[in-house]
């Protein structure tokens, strides 16, 4: 029995990581079993830390979904690169409060360097400011907060001091297939659904640029933000970003890009043309915990107007030690005050992969998504209902009777129960579909083939 809790955790973590490729992906325990396992009364006294860790691993084990498995294709969940996991452990052990340079000098410089690498890889202007946030939800919120500041500032209104009441207002133009986090970001920023104008999307989920001009021209006086999307969560489709930037800028609007995973196309020479023109936007949100495959939680926001970014997020307090010589104080670019030094795993992942490794990771996932699509489409009673432009595949199962609406959710359920691979369902433009997202560094062609065989076996069994 190990007596050091860190050693005990290392042993359990290694067992988990080493077993990922072969373990059953779905959890084995019901909610009642988990509550019974965890639900001790609050202990009156202390317990041996190594024993607590051993028991935690035992209690949690049956309730863990193996999201880092090479055959986990649900949501858009990348696995974690071993180097990023290791850097994350160091981050925990170092326990830096990475809000200020004064409190976390190494963390701030690692973020500064990683930010430079990221802007280079993602093809963004070198002068952008960067925030390492918890995920794309907060990256969207931060980018939109900077946009809210900038468009109101141009209208002579300082939203940070005067608030929104009595302001000229902000109109937000979004696509019909935007991600749910955009709406929540707007709620958090005091921008209600009545201030949102929706541009219809096409059959792949792309904003219709031909409708955008009309929507923009319907109101040429209200300060405006346009939200574009690179990578629809269902289809992977990318908005026509060059046209959107051009149309929006011609009318003085701010362009925010939600590129949670799609912005990473810019890191692949073969896919970069899909996002050409994105560099002309004003703010960009993406994730490191998706396609860069670092552990949760790790999102990124970039802003072409560092002054607006800082105006929206900056914070001062007399007891803090603010940077005096342009050192990075992350809390000026983040919505958090105290914060984890989440730049370390990003830095380690980028340093380990290099430019070529990131491009290869993105290309490989897309090639594997096409492999999925080709194999599934070739089977009877299966249809792929999106253009597989990135790493997302949408599948329906019409079967022999053509009743895909009944069959598709049943196949998803059967695949989850089977456990060979794990994916989930969605409703795409009113019809149920199965989503396949390939985002994990460790997924191989053999994993895809094994998963396709399991999906087809389940579809056959559903009948």
Point out which residues pair with 283 in neighbouring strands.
256, 303
- Say which DSSP state 190 is in: T
The secondary structure of 81-150 as a DSSP string is -HHHHHHHHHHHHHT--TT-TTT-HHHHHHHHHHHHHHHHHTT--TT-EEEEESSHHHHHHHHHHHHHHH
Residue 76 CB, shortest distance to ligand PLP, in Å, is: 4
Nearest to 281 by CA among 310, 298, 301, 261: 301
Residue 255 CB, shortest distance to ligand PLP, in Å, is: 16
Residue 339 CB, shortest distance to ligand PLP, in Å, is: 16
Residue 340 CB, shortest distance to ligand PLP, in Å, is: 15
**Alpha carbon distances (Å) from 11 to 18, 69, 275, 442, 449:** 11, 19, 43, 21, 32
d(CA 308, CA 305): 5
Residue 132 CB, shortest distance to ligand PLP, in Å, is: 13
**Tally of residues, the chain:** 463
d(CA 124, CA 360): 20
Point out which residues pair with 227 in neighbouring strands.
256
Residue 222 CB, shortest distance to ligand PLP, in Å, is: 25
Burial class of residue 44, CB neighbours in 10 A (0-12, 13-18, 19+): exposed
C-beta of 169 vs 293, nearer to ligand PLP: 293
C-beta of 110 vs 139, nearer to ligand PLP: 139
C-beta of 261 vs 372, nearer to ligand PLP: 261
C-beta of 100 vs 237, nearer to ligand PLP: 237
> Taken in order 366, 240, 288, 67, is the CA torsion positive or negative?
negative
C-beta of 124 vs 230, nearer to ligand PLP: 230
C-beta of 148 vs 179, nearer to ligand PLP: 179
d(CA 231, CA 238): 5
Nearest to 136 by CA among 235, 265, 279, 262: 262
Residue 423 CB, shortest distance to ligand PLP, in Å, is: 14
C-beta of 137 vs 283, nearer to ligand PLP: 137
C-beta of 152 vs 263, nearer to ligand PLP: 263
- With beta carbons less than 8 A apart as the criterion, state whether 100 and 337 touch: no
Residue 201 CB, shortest distance to ligand PLP, in Å, is: 13
Residue nearest to ligand PLP (CB): 135
- Give contact residues for ligand PLP (rule: CB under 6 A): 76, 135-137, 179, 181, 229, 231, 233, 258, 260-261, 287, 299
Packing angle between helix 404-418 and helix 445-462, nearest 10 degrees?
120
């Amino acid at each position: 029995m190990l007596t050091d809790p860190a050693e005990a955790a290392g042993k359990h973590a290694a067992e988990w990581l080493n077993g990922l490729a072969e373990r059953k992906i779905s959890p084995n325990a019901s909610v009642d079993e988990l509550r019974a396992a965890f639900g001790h009364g609050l202990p009156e006294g202390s317990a041996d830390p190594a024993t607590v860790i051993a028991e935690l691993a035992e209690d949690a084990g049956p309730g863990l979904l193996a999201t880092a498995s090479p055959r986990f294709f649900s949501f858009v969940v990348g696995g974690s690169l071993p180097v990023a996991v290791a850097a994350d452990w160091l981050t925990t052990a170092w326990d830096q409060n990475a809000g200020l340079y004064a409190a976390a000098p190494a963390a701030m410089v690692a973020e500064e360097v990683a930010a430079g690498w990221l802007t280079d890889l993602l093809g963004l202007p070198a002068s952008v400011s960067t925030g390492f946030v918890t995920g794309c939800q907060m990256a969207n919120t931060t980018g939109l907060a900077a946009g809210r500041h900038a468009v109101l500032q141009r209208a002579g209104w300082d939203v940070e001091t005067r608030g929104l009441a009595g302001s000229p207002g902000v109109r937000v133009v979004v696509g019909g297939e935007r991600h749910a986090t955009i709406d929540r970001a707007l709620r958090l920023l005091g921008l209600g659904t009545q201030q949102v104008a929706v541009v219809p999307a096409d059959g792949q989920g792309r904003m219709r640029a031909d409708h955008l001009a009309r929507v923009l021209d319907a109101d040429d006086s209200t300060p405006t933000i346009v939200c574009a999307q690179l990578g629809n969560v269902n289809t992977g489709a990318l908005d026509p970003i060059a046209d959107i930037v051009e149309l929006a800028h011609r009318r003085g609007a701010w362009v925010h890009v939600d590129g949670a995973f799609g912005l990473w196309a810019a890191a692949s020479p073969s896919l970069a043309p899909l996002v050409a023109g994105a560099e002309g936007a004003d703010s960009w949100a993406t994730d490191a915990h998706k396609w860069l495959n670092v552990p949760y939680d790790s999102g990124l926001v970039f802003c072409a107007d560092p002054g607006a970014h800082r105006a929206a997020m900056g914070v001062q307090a007399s007891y803090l030690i603010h940077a005096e010589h342009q050192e990075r104080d992350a809390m000026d670019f983040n919505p958090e005050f105290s914060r984890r030094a989440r730049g370390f795993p990003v830095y380690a992942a980028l340093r380990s992969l290099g430019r070529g490794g990131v491009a290869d990771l993105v290309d490989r996932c897309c090639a594997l998504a096409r492999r999925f699509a080709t194999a599934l489409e070739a089977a009877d009673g299966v249809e792929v209902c999106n253009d597989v432009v990135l790493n997302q595949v949408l599948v329906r199962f019409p079967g022999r009777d053509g009743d895909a609406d009944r069959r598709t959710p049943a196949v998803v359920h059967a695949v989850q129960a089977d456990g060979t691979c794990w994916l989930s369902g969605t409703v795409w433009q009113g019809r149920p579909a199965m989503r396949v997202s390939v985002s994990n560094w460790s997924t191989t062609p053999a994993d895809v083939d094994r998963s396709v065989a399991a999906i087809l076996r389940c579809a056959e069994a559903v009948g």
